[in-house]
Amino acid sequence: ALKLASPEAVAEAVERMSAQVARYAPDVRVERILVEKMADAPLLELIVGVKREPNFGLALVLGTGGVLVELIRDTATLLLPVRESDVRDALLGLKLGPLLTGYRGRPPADLDAVVANVMAIARFAQAHADSLVELDVNPLLVMERGAVAVDALVRLDA
């Protein structure tokens, strides 16, 4: 639920979501629901993923994220491990690269925060390389100051 303006609205949304889980997935037990502050509007959205390439190992995929993923199809793929400079160069090489540095009067994004987030994802993937099946962060919201992942999927093989 988005744009909830009061504690009562949050409580109602939690009740509604819990009822939907009980109705549509009765075997699922919800132990807790995480409530977070709604993120501010970003300068841009990225997708960060890790996939397993059969002949090469783990590959980091960076690209235009959010609702534009399929529309723009703008990605760069790097084999893990990566250096910060590799990540920075790949990001700046994307079609949306100019938006990261400030384009047509828009403020520049916090590229250091984006690189730090991507490097943390890469380290996580490498630390779980034996069991990692899938990892996707979409979107990674990129701000003037900071970057925040608002949706992620991580699947590990037991």
Among 45, 64, 76, 68, which residue's Cα sits nearest to residue 142?
45
DSSP-assigned letters across all residues of 73-87: --EEEEESS--HHHH
For the chain, what is the total number of helices (H) and then of strands (E)?
5, 6
| 27 and 94 assigned to the same domain | no
| 56 and 112 assigned to the same domain | yes
Q: How far apart are CA 102 and CA 87, in angstroms?
A: 18
Is residue 136 a contact partner of residue 152, using CB atoms and an 8 Å limit?
yes
Query: What pLDDT sits at residue 32?
Result: 87
Query: What pLDDT sits at residue 25?
Result: 94
| 48 and 114 assigned to the same domain | yes
Ranges in the chain, pLDDT < 50: none
- State pLDDT tens for residues 57-93: 999 999 999 989 888 999 999 999 999 999 999 999 9
| 63 and 129 assigned to the same domain | yes
CATH code of residue 70: 3.30.470.20
Q: How far apart are CA 33 and CA 105, in angstroms?
A: 40
- Write out the residue range of the structural domain in which residue 91 sits: 44-156
| 58 and 85 assigned to the same domain | yes
Could you give the residue ranges of the DSSP H alpha helices within 57-109? 69-72, 84-93, 97-101
| 26 and 78 assigned to the same domain | no
Amino acid, single-letter form, for residue 32: R
78 - beta bridge partners?
60
Domain count, the chain: 2
| 4 and 67 assigned to the same domain | no
| 105 and 140 assigned to the same domain | yes
| 129 and 61 assigned to the same domain | yes
| 74 and 133 assigned to the same domain | yes
| 85 and 32 assigned to the same domain | no
DSSP designation for 105: T
| 34 and 90 assigned to the same domain | no
Residues with Cβ within 8 Å of residue 123, at least 6 apart in sequence:
none
This prediction's pTM:
0.85
Amino acid, single-letter form, for residue 73: R
